[in-house]
């Protein structure tokens, strides 16, 4: 099914069943890695809310969750500027942190957030991202748990949007 959002058409790219299978595998790995610990999951809004919900439903252990919100895109392009509108609201000192991202492309947003996060002296920080664009990465970001590595194409669905539209689709779509 082709979908149209604003002035662009998108075609199916990753089906919901494949997404759920990868998220289940990531949740299992994180559950094993953090057995006996109580990590704090920090979800990067708005895009990671679906990934966060599905991952936490499958996480086997105690945990806390918090949300932060950054914006760096306008349309299909990064603005080059990262603005924060929701910040850290829990004590992270000495805690194990797992950042949940929908997609890591250039890495700029995460780079800005990590600088802020390390001021809170966490015990450890790991990154889990549903999607990673290794060819777009411009900052030294290490993603510890990756759902899918994808080319540098513009995608929507499963929480990702194009100027506010498309987050609600269960599958991921790529621009035609």
Residue 128 to residue 105: CA distance in whole angstroms: 13
Residue 99 to residue 145: CA distance in whole angstroms: 10
Q: What percentage of the chain carries pLDDT values higher than 70? A: 91
Q: What is the pLDDT of residues 131-176, one digit of tens each?
A: 999 999 999 999 999 999 999 999 999 999 999 999 999 999 999 9
Q: What is the pLDDT of residues 108-132, one digit of tens each?
A: 989 999 998 999 999 999 999 999 9
What confidence tier does 74 reach under pLDDT thresholds 50, 70, 90?
low
Q: Is the pLDDT of residue 6 over 60?
A: yes
Number of domains in the chain: 1
Over residues 9-16, the mean pLDDT reads: 98
Residue 5 lies in a domain: no
Residue 8 lies in a domain: no
Catalytic residues: 105
Instruction: State both tokens at 91.
Output: 């004590």
Structural domain boundaries enclosing 99? 16-152
CB 156 within 8 A of CB 176: no
CB 47 within 8 A of CB 167: yes
Q: Give the model's pLDDT for residue 88.
A: 83
Q: Give the model's pLDDT for residue 73.
A: 56
Residue 122 to residue 62: CA distance in whole angstroms: 18
Q: What is the pLDDT of residues 29-45, one digit of tens each?
A: 999 999 999 999 999 99
Q: Give the model's pLDDT for residue 89.
A: 82
Alpha helices for 10-70 (secondary structure H): 16-33, 49-58
Q: Is the pLDDT of residue 72 over 80?
A: no
Residue 81 to residue 61: CA distance in whole angstroms: 37
Residue 99 to residue 95: CA distance in whole angstroms: 12
Residue 122 lies in a domain: yes
Residue 87 to residue 48: CA distance in whole angstroms: 15
CA neighbor of 146 nearest in space, from 105, 96, 111, 174: 105
- Measured N-to-C along each axis, helices 16-33 and 49-58 cross at an angle, to the nearest 10 degrees, of 60
> Where residue 45 sits, what CATH number does that domain have?
3.40.50.2020
- If you average pLDDT over every residue of the chain, what do you get? 93
Output b/e per residue, 1-26; b: 16+ Cβ within 10 A: eebebeebebeebbeeeebeebbeeb
């Amino acid at each position: 099914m082709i979908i149209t959002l604003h002035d662009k058409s998108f075609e199916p790219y990753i089906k919901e069943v494949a997404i759920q299978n990868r998220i289940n595998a990531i949740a299992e790995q994180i559950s094993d890695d953090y057995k006996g610990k109580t990590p704090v999951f920090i979800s990067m809004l708005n895009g990671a809310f679906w990934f966060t919900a599905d991952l936490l439903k499958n996480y086997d252990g105690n945990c806390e969750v918090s949300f932060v919100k950054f914006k760096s895109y306008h349309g299909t392009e990064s603005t080059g500027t990262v603005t924060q509108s929701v910040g850290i609201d829990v004590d992270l000192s000495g805690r194990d942190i797992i950042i949940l991202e929908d997609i890591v492309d250039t890495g700029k947003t995460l780079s800005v957030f990590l600088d802020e996060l390390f001021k809170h002296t966490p015990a450890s920080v790991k990154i889990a991202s549903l999607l990673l664009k290794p060819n777009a990465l411009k900052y030294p970001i290490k993603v510890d748990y990756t759902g899918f590595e994808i080319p540098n194409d513009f995608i929507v669905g499963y929480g990702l949007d194009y100027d506010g539209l498309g987050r609600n689709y269960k599958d991921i779509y790529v621009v035609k």
